[in-house]
Amino acid sequence: MLHPPLDQQPIDPAYPFRSESPLSREERKARFLGALKGILELDLYDRPLKMYLDTCARCNNCAGQCPVFQATGDVHDLPAWRSDLLRRVYRRYFTPSGRLLGRLVGAKKLTAGDIDAMVEAFYRCTMCRRCAVHCPLAVDNALITRIGRVLLAEIGFVPKNITVSVAAQLAKGGNTSSIPPAAFIDTLDFLEEELVDETGINIPIPRDVEGAEYFFAAPVSDYIMEADTLMGIARVFHAAGASWTVGTENYDAINYGLFYSDDKLEEILNRLLAEVRRLKCGTLVIGECGHATKAALLFHKVFGRSEYRDIRIESILQVTRRFLAEGKISFAASKDQGSVTYHDPCNLGRGLGLYEEPRELLAAAGIEVVEMQPNREMNLCCGGGGGLVVAPDLHDWRMSVGGLLKAEQLRATGAKTVVAPCANCKKQLRELVQHHNIDMEVAGLHDLVGRALTREEKA
Amino acid sequence: MTGMEFIARVFPYLALGLFVLGTAWRFLRWRSLPAHLKWTLYPFPKGTAGQLKYMAGEIFTFGTIYRFNRRLWIGAYVLHMAMGGFVLFSILYLAGWLPGTAVRIILWILLAAPVYLVALRSFNKYLRAVTTPEEFFNLIFLAAFAVAGLAASPSAMSPRAYFVGLMLMRPDAASLPPELVPAILLGGLFLIYLPWSRMIHYISKYFAYHAIKWQKN
Ligand code: SF4
Ligand code: SF4
């Protein structure tokens, strides 16, 4: 057999995602191709997409980097094979050579079976982009995965938990965790009380302050799961004497549109920017969250409404790092934290280049980091990237496939704490250490940074 | 004009012209594609010097494949170097600075590398899963060219006069050794085909790195 089987069947019968679409199989094909045509005509992805679809040397260099393929060794998890599911359809319908020569040039008519295979394949990729680092032709399979998912969404396939969260967020005054404003405000009060208990001083979490310099938005799940991270951030803003605020009409930075839909991404982003504008803040600061930071930073200039283009967007990592450089915050001699390792979230590292900021902050806070091997641009995805962490039905897969190598990597550090400035990574890492019996705490960056600050009494 | 005259006097220019036009067309088309979405991958080499150094390293060593895919690297690297080497050696030979044996050796390498790669792509389960008939076709095309070149090399007549005439824009059908015709045909067809095949990565690579992966803010 010289070529992957022509009519794809599901790759792994146990994999929980199947294409469940109200559309007939014929309609799915027509819609899929229509949507692909639309994307190819759209200026937005022109250069990278066409280039990636046109060139791939089929060298499998990417396979050696892909944590999913490394875990399964299954040909269907080869990044180039996965991308080819889309590439060969593109060739068949949108290139002269594919139309003319068909299979000879790797082109193939789309079948409903192919769509089934794509549903599975594109949701077995965490979009971590590790494979792109050492592709000799600089092809980025994660972008192809993303486009594949956008097309699948057009025919009605999106994992249920993601659609539910997005629907909740886009409801009036909504957010992905469906925390009502009153409960949100209660949580802020609670955090302030906790801060008093911990520090002995009043550290406010300002709400709806018009004209504050920084508008802060965390992934809303932090208000349920990551109190320490939020308190650390409040301590930093307070210690730096910064003017900051959260908004009570929109307090959710999560943007799952990044994983499957430009329309949703745009809508979610603009709603958040509208809140920043309502409060007349100059800078939107995204909390510890990889995908939310990337969605906002990368797509601001293309999807943000023109009247919002002047809003600055930063990651909290950049802001805190700058406060340190400007001497606005300082750290006391560190209390012993035990050994700490740092996990580079894919979207903050490979996606945005924020490798050194968190390390410099930890170093300044007197926390010695035992590096994972490999780290920085070669760090392994936690295994829950690309939105997969949102789906509870993928738990087993994330533990035994997506995060398998990560678990080994964590264990090898021997550290007592793993720091990950990303809500999704933290959720996945917690499940991983538990599942694999690794004796390790999972913490956010500001949990540690906040605690190490020089006492803030004066401020 | 007889067929032979066409092959000797028109076809080489036609093939080269189509190669240049095809490459230019694809280059310009890719360059004209808008790049609204920044899709940078961090970190990337700083400054033009750093980027050139990385690219040169990559082009001359195939470092990424060397590090992670040694078995493929042997074939791919040797193949690419042999392609470049063939052009270079041929020029040196025509200039009289290299013996014909050097060109023959390079042709043998140009035959061995694709054969090795065809075997590797057929027997390695993972490479086979991502290889399309086009890859095999490209490799066999190159091997066929090498065979044609080798078959022509012990010819009675030296090809030097013909090629020099070609270069001076005075092509002479009479000076073309007939044994060389298959090699000329295959070589020309390869040039015409190259820009439209996946082997277009000799220019796509430039864009994929400079205009996407390393795009600055
Ligand atoms: S490393 Fe790049 S060129 Fe090689 S198979 Fe993977 S995507 Fe294709
Ligand atoms: S983006 Fe990550 S998970 Fe997806 S193919 Fe590349 S390395 Fe594998």
CA–CA separation, A375 and B175 (whole Å): 62
Index of the ligand 2 atom closest to the CA of residue A127: 1
From A127, A135, A379, A397, the mutation candidate for ligand 2 (largest count of ligand atoms within 8 A of CB) is A127
Across the interface, whether the CB atoms of A57 and B205 are under 8 A apart is answered no
Cβ–ligand 1 contact at A289 (below 6 Å): no
Strand partners, B36: none
- Kindly state if the Cβ of A135 falls inside 6 Å of ligand 1: yes
- pLDDT for res A11: 65
Q: Does A396 or A459 have the greater pLDDT score?
A: A396
Closest atom of ligand 1 relative to the A52 alpha carbon: 7
Query: A25-158 domain in CATH 1.10.1060?
Result: yes
Distance CA A120, CA A15 (A): 7
Flag if B39 and A353 touch (Cβ within 8 Å).
no
Q: Is the pLDDT of residue A442 over 70?
A: yes
The answer to whether the CB of A279 falls within 8 A of the CB of A311 is: no
Kindly state the average pLDDT of the residues B119-138: 94
A60 in ligand 1 pocket by Cβ < 6 Å? Answer: yes
Work out which ligand 2 atom sits closest to the CA atom of A66.
Answer: 7
Instruction: From chain B, pick out residues whose CB is under 8 angstroms from the CB of A377.
Output: 41-43
Q: Which ligand approaches the C-alpha of residue A56 most closely?
A: 1
* pLDDT at residue number A459: 45
Quick one: which ligand is closest to A80's CA? 1
B123 shares contact with chain A (CB less than 8 Å): no
Does ipTM surpass 0.85 in this model? yes
- Using alpha carbons, select from A432, A431, A446 the residue that is nearest to residue A227: A446
Above 90 in pLDDT, residue A204?
yes
pLDDT tens string A411-438 = 999 999 999 999 999 999 999 999 999 9
B30/A8: higher pLDDT? B30
Whether A136 sits inside 8 A of B35 (CB atoms) is no
Contact predicate A448/A419, CB 8 Å: yes
> Which atom number of ligand 2 is nearest to the Cα of residue A346?
2
Its pTM surpasses 0.90: yes
pLDDT band at B46 (very low <50, low <70, confident <90, very high): confident
CB of B62 within 8 Å of any CB in chain A?
Answer: yes
**Least Cα separation, residue A443 to chain B (angstroms):** 24
Q: Whose CA is nearest to atom 2 of ligand 2?
A: A128
How confident is the model at residue B217, as a pLDDT? 58
Yes or no, beta carbons of B201 and A47 under 8 Å apart: no
Mean pLDDT for the stretch of residues B96-121: 96
B43 contacts A353? CB cut-off 8 A: yes
| Minimal CA separation from A196 to chain B, in Å | 40
| pLDDT tens per residue across span A130-140 | 999 999 999 99
- A13 pLDDT higher than 70: no
- pLDDT at site A9: 54
Which residues on chain A are in Cβ contact (under 8 Å) with B125?
A: 75
- What is the distance between the alpha carbons of residues B125 and A310, in angstroms, rounded to a whole number? 52
Give me the pLDDT at residue A19, please: 59
Res. A7 pLDDT band, cuts 50 70 90: very low
Residue-number span of the structural domain to which B93 is assigned: 3-213
Cβ neighbours, 10 Å, residue A306: 6
Q: Where are the domains of chain A?
A: 25-158, 162-325, 340-452
Please tell me if the CB atom of residue A127 comes closer than 6 angstroms to any atom of ligand 2.
yes
Residue A156: its pLDDT value, please? Answer: 86
Name the amino acid, one letter, at A241.
G
Same fold, A162-325 and A340-452: yes
The pLDDT of residue A342: 98
Stretch B47-59: mean pLDDT: 90
pLDDT at A47: 82
> At a CB cut-off of 8 Å and minimum separation 6, what does B175 contact?
B157, B161, B162, B165
pLDDT of residue A339: 94
> What spacing in Å lies between the alpha carbon of A78 and ligand 2's midpoint?
9
Which residues from B are below 8 Å from A303, CB to CB?
A: none
**At A370, is the pLDDT very low, low, confident or very high (cuts 50, 70, 90)?**
very high
* Ligand 2 centre distance from Cα of residue A64 (Å): 10
What local confidence, expressed as pLDDT, does residue B36 receive? 79
What is the rounded distance in angstroms from the CA atom of residue A30 to the CA atom of residue A36?
10
Q: Does A345 sit behind a cis peptide bond, omega within 30 degrees of 0 on the bond before it? A: no
**pLDDT at residue A354 in the model:** 97
For helices A25-41 and A46-54, give the axis angle rounded to 10 degrees: 120
**Mean pLDDT for chain B overall:** 92
Please determine, for residue A3, whether its predicted confidence score (pLDDT) is greater than 50: no
Report the gap between the CA of B13 and the closest CA in chain A (Å). 24
pLDDT at residue B30, as a whole number: 87
B150-159 per-position pLDDT tens digit:
998 766 678 8
Partner-chain residue, chosen from B35, B132, B208, that has the shortest CB–CB distance to A106: B132
Is A81 in contact with B130 (Cβ distance < 8 A)? yes
Distance A14 CA to ligand 1 centre (A): 28
Query: Chain A closest CA to B54's CA: distance in Å?
Result: 11
Question: Residue of the nearest CA to atom 6 in ligand 2?
Answer: A131
Mutate one of B130, B138, B194, B215 to test the A interface: name it (highest A CB count within 10 A).
B130
* Range with lowest mean pLDDT among A13-27, A417-431, B77-91, B94-108: A13-27
Euclidean distance between CA atoms A240 and A320, whole angstroms? 9
CATH of the domain at B134: 1.20.950.20
Q: What is the DSSP code string of chain B?
A: --HHHIIIIIHHHHHHHHHHHHHHHHHHHHHHS---S----SS---HHHHHHHHHHHHHHH-HHHHHH-HHHHHHHHHHHHHHHHHHHHHHHHHTTSS-HHHHHHHHHHHHHHHHHHHHHHHHSHHHHHH--HHHHHHHHHHHHHHHHHHHHTT-SS-SHHHHHHHHTT---GGGS-GGGHHHHHHHHHHHHHGGGSGGGHHHHHHHIIIIIIT---
pLDDT at position A458, please? 47
Backbone region of residue B62 per phi and psi (left: phi > 0; alpha: psi in -120 to 50; beta: other values): left
Domain count, chain B: 1
**Could A143 and B38 be called an inter-chain contact, meaning their C-beta atoms sit closer than 8 Å?**
no
Residue with tokens 């190598």: A405
Q: Please state, rounded to an integer, the average pLDDT across all residues of chain A.
A: 93
The CA distance from B15 to the nearest CA of chain A, in Å, is 19
pLDDT at position A1 over 50: no
Mean pLDDT, range A377-382, rounded to an integer: 97
pLDDT at B101 over 80: yes
Query: Among A127-131, A162-166, A202-206, B209-213, which is the least confidently predicted range?
Result: B209-213
Q: Does domain A162-325 have CATH number 3.40.50?
A: yes
Contact check, Cβ <8 Å, A138/B133:
no
Six token digits for residue B79: 């193949």
Residue A4 pLDDT more than 50?
A: no
CATH number of A340-452: 3.40.50
Decide whether any atom of ligand 1 lies within 6 Å of the A58 Cβ: yes
Option in B62, B134, B211 nearest A136 (CB): B62
Residue A286 has a CB neighbour count (10 Å cut-off) of 29
Q: How many residues does chain A have?
A: 459
Nearest by CB to residue A44, choosing from B36, B128, B200, is: B36
- The whole-number pLDDT of residue B180 equals 92
